[in-house]
Amino acid sequence: MADTLKIAMPKGRIYKKASALFREAGLDIPVDMDETRKLVIPVQEMGMEFIMAKPVDVPTYVEYGVADIGIVGKDVLMEENRDVYELLDLGIARCRMSVIALPDWKPGIQQRVATKYPNIASQYFREQGQQVEVIKLNGSIELAPLIGLADRIVDMVETGQTLKENGLVEMESIFNITSRLIANRVSYRMKNTQIQSLCDRLQEVIPTSEVK
Ligand X SMILES: O=P(O)(O)OC[C@H]1O[C@H](OP(=O)(O)OP(=O)(O)O)[C@H](O)[C@@H]1O
Going residue by residue from 3 to 32, which x/- string records binding to ligand ATP, judged by CB under 6 A?
Answer: -------x-xxx------------------
Long-range (24+ apart) CB contacts under 8 A made by 26-34 are 26/201, 27/201
Contact status, residue 190 vs residue 39, Cβ threshold 8 Å: no
The whole-angstrom distance between residue 55's C-alpha and the CA centroid of its chain comes to 7
Binding of residue 56 to ligand X (CB under 6 A): no
Which H/E stretch holds residue 127? helix 118-127
| Residues between 102 and 141 with contacts to ligand X, criterion CB under 6 A | 139-141
Measured from the CB of residue 83, what is the shortest distance to ligand ATP in angstroms? 19
Measured from the CB of residue 14, what is the shortest distance to ligand X in angstroms? 11
Measured from the CB of residue 90, what is the shortest distance to ligand ATP in angstroms? 11
Q: Sheet containing 111-115: give its strands across.
A: 132-136, 111-115, 152-157, 95-101, 169-177
Complex with ligand ATP: residue 10 or 145, whichever CB lies closer = 10
Measured from the CB of residue 141, what is the shortest distance to ligand X in angstroms? 6
Contact status, residue 156 vs residue 115, Cβ threshold 8 Å: no
Q: What does the angle CA 31 – CA 139 – CA 181 come to, to the nearest 5 degrees? A: 45
Q: Which of 41, 95, 163, 169 binds ligand ATP (CB under 6 A)?
A: 95
Complex with ligand ATP: residue 14 or 144, whichever CB lies closer = 14
Query: Quick one: which segment of 102-110, 127-135, 155-163, 198-206 binds ligand X (CB under 6 A)?
Result: 155-163
